[in-house]
A = this chain, B = another copy of it.
Amino acid sequence: MIRVLLVHDECLVRSVLADWLRREPDLGVFHAPWRGASRRVSTVRPDVCAADLECADSYGIPPLGELGARVPGVPPPRLLVLASANRPGLLKGAVEAGALGYVDKEGAPERLVEGIRLVAEGKRFVDDSLGFGFLRAAEMPLTRRELSVLVLAAEGASVAEIAGSLHLSNGTVRNYMAAITRKTGARNRIDAIRISQGEGWL
């Protein structure tokens, strides 16, 4: 029996998906929203976490790291993500979190079952249709520092506030913002934020 924790922020969708997965006799299915998922990992002790990369909180960046929360003596669950090729930033985050499985939400649901079984064996599972998303993820143009500036700007912080929280001068923050605008091919700061949120970089 493979114990699966399905993580999705919409109760209606995750209940129906869990029901649908339960038709497979080798799957034991639990479900949770992102908020509180790490606690559920400790109690359910799933073999596989199947997590939707769309997250209702914190600007849509899912806290993937929390799903690996270790219980002493118990191996962490293997991670499979439900992804889409047009949010390369979220794919990149999943790669960095060590996800083994990548199921395209534009595909057939049977792929999710296949993916869960392979990932449970410690094998990789990647939908071909996500290829272009991985390519764009590899081309992510911003440095970590530029991203942290942009995250604060997207929260509505002023140049002075960003400078204050990152211990930079106002001029340096303006230089970063100019570099971000240029590298994302944006017309201005608001456009840079729009483009970066669309790609899932922040």
**Chain A interface residues (CB < 8 Å from chain B):** 10-13, 15-17, 19-20, 56, 82, 84, 86, 103-109, 111-112, 153-158, 186-195
Partner of A13, one of B17, B153, B191: B17
Q: Are B191 and A156 in contact (CB under 8 A)?
A: yes
Please judge, given known A-B contacts A156-B190, A193-B190, whether A82 and B12 are in contact too, CB under 8 Å.
yes
Please judge, given known A-B contacts A20-B19, A109-B15, whether A188 and B158 are in contact too, CB under 8 Å.
yes
| 11 A-B residue pairs with CB within 8 Å | A10-B106, A12-B103, A12-B104, A12-B105, A20-B20, A156-B188, A156-B190, A156-B191, A156-B195, A158-B187, A189-B190
Q: Are A20 and B16 in contact (CB under 8 A)?
A: yes
Q: Are A112 and B12 in contact (CB under 8 A)?
A: yes
Q: Are B109 and A155 in contact (CB under 8 A)?
A: no
A109 CB to nearest B CB, Å: 5
Q: Are B189 and A109 in contact (CB under 8 A)?
A: no
A180 CB to nearest B CB, Å: 13
Q: Are B17 and A16 in contact (CB under 8 A)?
A: yes
